[in-house]
Amino acid sequence: MPEEPWTILKLLHWTTDYFKKNKVAEPRASAEVLLAHLLSRDRLFLYLNYDRPMEAEELATFRTFVRRRLAGEPNQYITGTQEFWSLPFRVNPDVLIPRPETEVLLETVLEFLGSPETEIRLLDLGTGSGAIAVSLAREFDLIKIVATDSSKAAVKLAQENALLNQVDSKIHFVCADMFSAFSSVSWKFAVVATNPPYVSQAEFSELPREIRDYEPRYALDGGPDGLAAIKHIIREAPAVLSQGGALIMEIGAHQGESVSGLVKASQHYESYRIIKDYSGLDRVLFALKKE
Ligand SMILES: C[S@@+](CC[C@H](N)C(=O)[O-])C[C@H]1O[C@@H](n2cnc3c(N)ncnc32)[C@H](O)[C@@H]1O
């Protein structure tokens, strides 16, 4: 008797079971995302076409996806995409996969800027995929953003994401270490928005292998105590902030107290607060530059 063909439904069942047995997180969702990507369709297409037979070539490619996922590679690097702020972003192992927590930073920027009537200048330091710069460029008509990263590959991808989301004319990309691009130019920004590397060395070794082995270490590693980049930014941001400007920075879940101490000690800020995320964890520093 001929073997029954592999249909979408049969493949989803098989893959979900296989992922479950091998302790892959969210097995069904993961299988659906990979299969939808393979077929260049959305997940709804799968539900509406459960009986569609799979072709031999499709099955062979899908097998490579399953193998990569099983080795711990995140879905987003296999599909090359991640949605953030309801926008599409291309991602690859040169950049951090944008996280939903970073939307708290965006909300803080939106609240601070309100509805500006004149052009605002904003610096996104450590732009990675361009998630912050691109999303904010979509939110404001009158905005000029400078987005920097020390990784050339990240800057290249962020530029592609700006084009993809049609905001390339609003963002100027620079490959530079920290604030070095501004040492000889006196640019001033209303906001420095940044999600720096803030994972401590102890935390790094405890990260799930999907993150530790696949996401770029330079995007995560904040030195022995996780505060190396944060300290640098708190110290240097006032020089590029305009009067009444704000440093709005993502921080680690338990860094609120130490970050508050650093801001207080710097004496460059008039006021500051730590904003929690939806899980009640420390997530964003908002610090207003002293007049
Ligand atoms: C946590 S990731 C954030 C990426 C992106 N902004 C986001 O929110 O998804 C930190 C980024 O900072 C960049 N970075 C690390 N050290 C840097 C430095 N010294 N100067 C500039 N950028 C740096 C990394 O390349 C990485 O893209």
Spatial neighbors of 18 by CB under 8 A, at least 6 apart, are 66, 70
Phi, psi for 244 (deg, rounded to 5): 75, 10
Q: What is the pLDDT of residues 89-136, one digit of tens each?
A: 999 999 999 999 999 999 999 999 999 999 999 999 999 999 999 999
C-alpha dihedral, 139 to 84 to 177 to 121, nearest 10°: 0
Do 266 and 239 touch, CB atoms closer than 8 A? no
How would you classify the pairing of strands 143-149 and 120-125? parallel
User: Long-range CB contacts (< 8 A, 24+ apart) of 90-93?
Assistant: 90/129, 90/157, 90/160, 90/161, 90/164, 91/129, 91/157, 92/153, 92/157, 93/214, 93/215, 93/216
Ligand 1 binding pocket mutation candidate from 151, 230, 240, 255 (most atoms within 8 A of CB): 151
**What is the pLDDT at residue 291?**
81
Q: Which atom of ligand 1 is nearest to the CA of 105?
A: 8
**What is the pLDDT at residue 2?**
59
Confidence of residue 3 (pLDDT cuts 50, 70, 90): confident
Q: What is the pLDDT of residues 44-70, one digit of tens each?
A: 999 999 999 999 999 999 999 999 999
> How many Å lie between the centroid of ligand 1 and the Cα of residue 273?
23
Q: Which atom of ligand 1 is nearest to the CA of 84?
A: 9
> How many Å lie between the centroid of ligand 1 and the Cα of residue 197?
6
> How many Å lie between the centroid of ligand 1 and the Cα of residue 162?
17
**What is the pLDDT at residue 179?**
96
The token duo for 173 is 């990309």
Q: What is the pLDDT of residues 165-200, one digit of tens each?
A: 999 999 999 999 999 999 877 789 999 999 999 999
Q: What is the pLDDT of residues 16-26, one digit of tens each?
A: 999 999 999 99
Ligand 1 binding pocket mutation candidate from 85, 96, 230, 236 (most atoms within 8 A of CB): 96
**What is the pLDDT at residue 290?**
92
Q: Which fold has domain 84-289?
A: Rossmann fold (3.40.50)
As a whole number of Å, the CA-based R_g of the chain is 21
Do 171 and 147 touch, CB atoms closer than 8 A? yes
Do 112 and 246 touch, CB atoms closer than 8 A? yes
Q: What is the pLDDT of residues 205-261, one digit of tens each?
A: 999 999 999 999 999 999 999 999 999 999 999 999 999 999 999 999 999 999 999
Q: What is the pLDDT of residues 65-90, one digit of tens each?
A: 999 999 999 999 999 999 999 999 99
List residues near ligand 1 (CB under 6 A): 95-96, 98, 102, 126-129, 131-132, 148-151, 154, 177-178, 195-197, 218-219, 229
Taking CA atoms only, the protein residue closest to ligand 1 atom 8 is: 195
Q: What is the pTM of this model?
A: 0.95
Taking CA atoms only, the protein residue closest to ligand 1 atom 14 is: 126
> How many Å lie between the centroid of ligand 1 and the Cα of residue 34?
27
Check pLDDT > 80 for residue 268: yes
Taking CA atoms only, the protein residue closest to ligand 1 atom 27 is: 128
Ligand 1 binding pocket mutation candidate from 82, 101, 127 (most atoms within 8 A of CB): 127
Taking CA atoms only, the protein residue closest to ligand 1 atom 12 is: 126
> How many Å lie between the centroid of ligand 1 and the Cα of residue 149?
6
**What is the pLDDT at residue 258?**
98
What's the distance, Cα to Cα, between the start and end of the chain in Å? Answer: 82
